[in-house]
Amino acid sequence: MDKVRRVISVIVANEAQVLARVSGLFAGRGYNIDSLTVAPIPGSNFSHMTIVTRGNRRVIEQIVKQLHKLIPTFKVIEHEEMVEKEMVLIKFSIESPIAEIQALCQAYNGNIVNAGPDMFIAMAADEASRIAHFIDAVERYQPVEIVRSGVVAMER
């Protein structure tokens, strides 16, 4: 069976151990995690986790069911029609061509977000695959550091 990429949202009680329960489930059952983000849902006792994973149909089905089986899990959404965004911060030397980089950033919903005497930091926010393109595109400016946020997603 072919492996597919899946974005899964998990709504969990915002309580101690819950991240360990989820990450432990993936580690213990040998499931893959491409990225995992988590933050509280405003005005509630729940947190929203967005997990990007890969696996064949049976594995993805098991991941969804096993996540649901955790006692603090309220809801599991296997995204089909979604808006998906990831952010990246990239640091460059101040010698780099800032105008060119800024133009690239803007093509990927970003901008220059910080500048100092030696370095400046660019940001882009887009679909995960486009963020990968963006990172490829700025490779030739020899970035000093790259930090990706992991994916957040919302069903349309």
Q: Which residues bind another protein (CB under 8 A)?
A: 12-13, 16-17, 20-21, 24, 28, 58, 61-62, 65-66, 68-69, 71-74
Q: What is the Cα–Cα distance from 1 to 144, expressed in whole angstroms?
A: 40
Least spacing, CB of residue 46 vs another protein, in Å = 9
Least spacing, CB of residue 3 vs another protein, in Å = 18
Least spacing, CB of residue 72 vs another protein, in Å = 5
**Looking at beta carbons only, is 58 or 156 nearer to another protein?**
58
**Looking at beta carbons only, is 21 or 130 nearer to another protein?**
21
